[in-house]
Structure 1
Amino acid sequence: MSPHENASVFGAVHLGYLVIETERFADWRRFGADAVGMHHDDLDTGLMRFRLDDRECRFLLRRGPAEDVVATGWHLDDHTVFEEIEARVRAHGVPVVHGTAEEAAQRGVERLLRFPGPKGITQEICTTPLKSALPLRMLASGWVTGDAGMGHVAITSTRPTLVRGYFGTVFDARLTDCIDETISGVKLKIRFLRVNERHHSLAVAAVRGLPIDPVRTRVQHLNIQAATLDDLARSYQRVHELGFDMALSVGRHTNDKELSYYARTPSGFEWEVGWNPIVVDESTWQPTTHQGISVWGHTPVGRTIVDALDRFRAGARSLARTEKTVPALSGAGIPDE
């Protein structure tokens, strides 16, 4: 074992920001600011940001054709943790690139490093997120961020063991729990990984027994946590009133007990707004497997046979392409329950 694998970074890693590439700036501005209720800033004609709190950036949107999340940014507690993870990645022979001062400024951080991640999503680590002196202008009363980070990211994968191994190797992620679910006759296994007290910062879903990925985008959904139940309800109403597609109605999850809904973003992946998930107690927590993703609700909205055919086509197309992995960083597997 490399010496850089001995010092755990668990608890010192927090989901800090996401980078989204899109050509649909006007739609995203309406979705993020007017529907979800976040603070919005235009940087220039090809860049804009959303804020949730006093941090300068939580979502960086840049012009480009991907219509997807292209990078995940992880805020680290200090430079010691930054250097530990950098050394860990380098020790496995994976290339790293230091971000420029301009790139760090766009993300509102002091120090920036990037390296390859699963499904072609670049992983970025940073220190010292910058706070904005400008007051928040948003429709929500607030969002829950803090030591637990700002929410979570969910992906689908044909190589879930490698994905779990990657985040175990790089960030010492731990398995929180699993969900077995059957949707439209397709059996799914979903693993939930945490890097701090938040129930999960990453969810990895895989079709059981079939090497297919039914989702076009690299990210299936991302999540932010509303400060109050009223914030959740009002954003749900605004999404409807502004004509954005609702993917799943309000419901409560079986594992983290979060109350939430899922809207469809202008880029096509889903956006979950949640409220009041449980917090993991490391002294007592034991991974378990739940049957079904929801205690109640989360019913599909407006789904048609055309949607089902689109998912089938996406799954069939995934058979013809190889999912991007980072084998050198995928060896420290996270065992199932």
Structure 2
Amino acid sequence: MFVKSLGYVGVASPDAKQWLEFGPEILGMQPVEAGADTVFLRMDDADHRLAVHYGDRNRMLYAGWDVGSEEQLHALAERLEERGISYNQGTDEECADRAVLGLLAVQDPMGLRHEFFYGQKLVPNSFHPARPMSRFVTGSQGLGHIVLATPNLKQCDQFFRDVLGFRKSDEIYTFMDLWFYHCNPRHHSLALTPMPGVRGLHHVMVEVADLDDVGAAYDECMSRNIPLSMTLGRHVNDRMVSFYVRTPAGFDIEYGWGAITVDDEVWTVAQYDRPSVWGHRMVAETPPGALEMSD
């Protein structure tokens, strides 16, 4: 397996500046404004985990995956060359922007950009939650997880499993089919959902260390009338208690607590016919605005 964890996510939005309020006051993240066009958000002592760049429309720009070392990055480059998959070496400017020592970039089968890096910048004891809360669950489990919409589920499954080494966690078949993948003990760092003719970022999950942190964020959304996509509930597969809120960049944030972890020594892939044990009722009538038509 090449990937160790999800390191960062970058999106574009015409409402990037709204994250200077949404990130800290709703999510508890620490904002770092970088010039006129980008807002960086911290969740721990990593330089940043979310980057919101100004753009003319809401869309995912890149997902950054930590491979752990320069040697692993070279090994991944060799694997891509063997499979005939083109990639680009990260420029000095891109590495500086992502606060990493080195990276290479690949387009997945649906045309979304994935960056594989090593040497993420860490500043010990630099993270300070923007509102009272415990902490975000990151470390070896990374940022959290992303869910991507794809017009070709099997083609993307082959790319992430056979080329990159992700392992299947389980599958859900319901109003929204989902395949889940892990690369560390987090139940899933990636999930794919088939949407004919559509690609893009459905949601990003961040996990907190205390259930009360979820309740506090939920209350903030209620008091400010911030649109929810799904109400509070508990998922059937990873057992996370969470809710989904629509962000100023169009995609959803799943804000959760209490997920189980995966042990590959004993883990078996399962299928489920519902997404949740309780709750998670749909609220938003429209899909996330960070999705776009595929080519």
Does TM, scored on the shorter chain, surpass 0.5?
A: yes
Query: Aligned-pair distance for 1:135?
Result: 4.3
- Asked if 2 retains the 8 angstrom alpha-carbon contact of 1:223 and 1:271, the reply is yes
Is residue 54 from structure 1 mapped to residue 41 from structure 2 by the alignment? Answer: no
1:272-293 CA-partner distances (Å, limit 9, x unpaired): 0111110011111110101200
Partner SS for 1:66: coil
Is residue 197 from structure 1 mapped to residue 185 from structure 2 by the alignment? Answer: yes
Aligned partner of 1:117 in structure 2 is 108
- Asked if 2 retains the 8 angstrom alpha-carbon contact of 1:120 and 1:218, the reply is no
% identity of equivalent residues: 28
Structure-2 change in CA distance of 1:174 and 1:248 (3 Å): same
Structure-2 change in CA distance of 1:57 and 1:170 (3 Å): farther
Partner SS for 1:221: strand
Is residue 174 from structure 1 mapped to residue 164 from structure 2 by the alignment? Answer: no
Is residue 16 from structure 1 mapped to residue 4 from structure 2 by the alignment? Answer: no
Partner SS for 2:177: strand
Q: Between Structure 1 and Structure 2, how many residues are aligned?
A: 291
Match of 1:232 among 214, 217, 231: 214
Partner SS for 1:155: strand
- Asked if 2 retains the 8 angstrom alpha-carbon contact of 1:36 and 1:238, the reply is no
Aligned partner of 1:101 in structure 2 is 92
Query: Aligned-pair distance for 1:137?
Result: 4.2
Higher helix share: 1
Query: Aligned-pair distance for 1:141?
Result: 2.4
Matches within 5 A, 1:66-215: 66-132=57-123, 134-139=126-131, 140-182=133-175, 188-206=176-194, 211=196, 213=198
Q: What TM-score comes out, normalization by structure 2 length? A: 0.92
Structure-2 change in CA distance of 1:135 and 1:58 (3 Å): closer
Partner SS for 1:119: coil
Match of 2:281 among 296, 299, 311: 299
Aligned residue type for 1:285? W
Partner SS for 1:169: helix
Query: Aligned-pair distance for 1:84?
Result: 1.1
Task: Name segments (4+ residues, structure 1) moved above 3 Å.
Answer: none
Distance in 2 between residues matched to 1:169 and 1:66, nearest whole Å: 33
Which is greater in Rg?
1
Match of 2:16 among 14, 19, 25: 25
Aligned residue type for 1:14? S
Higher alpha-carbon deviation: 114-123 or 268-277: 114-123
Higher strand share: 2
Distance in 2 between residues matched to 1:35 and 1:99, nearest whole Å: 33
Distance in 1 between residues matched to 2:17 and 2:106, nearest whole Å: 30
Distance in 2 between residues matched to 1:19 and 1:264, nearest whole Å: 16
Matches within 5 A, 1:254-269: 254-269=236-251
- Asked if 1 retains the 8 angstrom alpha-carbon contact of 2:24 and 2:130, the reply is yes
- Asked if 2 retains the 8 angstrom alpha-carbon contact of 1:60 and 1:106, the reply is no
Distance in 1 between residues matched to 2:183 and 2:163, nearest whole Å: 10
Q: What TM-score comes out, normalization by structure 1 length? A: 0.81
Query: Aligned-pair distance for 1:158?
Result: 2.4
Higher alpha-carbon deviation: 121-130 or 24-33: 24-33
1:6-25 CA-partner distances (Å, limit 9, x unpaired): xx43xx52100001111212
Structure-2 change in CA distance of 1:125 and 1:31 (3 Å): same
Matches within 5 A, 1:299-318: 299-301=281-283, 303=284, 307=285
Aligned residue type for 1:297? G
Q: CA RMSD in A?
A: 2.1
Distance in 2 between residues matched to 1:118 and 1:57, nearest whole Å: 27
Is residue 249 from structure 1 mapped to residue 240 from structure 2 by the alignment? Answer: no
- Asked if 2 retains the 8 angstrom alpha-carbon contact of 1:198 and 1:279, the reply is yes
Query: Aligned-pair distance for 1:192?
Result: 0.6
Distance in 2 between residues matched to 1:135 and 1:162, nearest whole Å: 39
Distance in 2 between residues matched to 1:242 and 1:118, nearest whole Å: 39
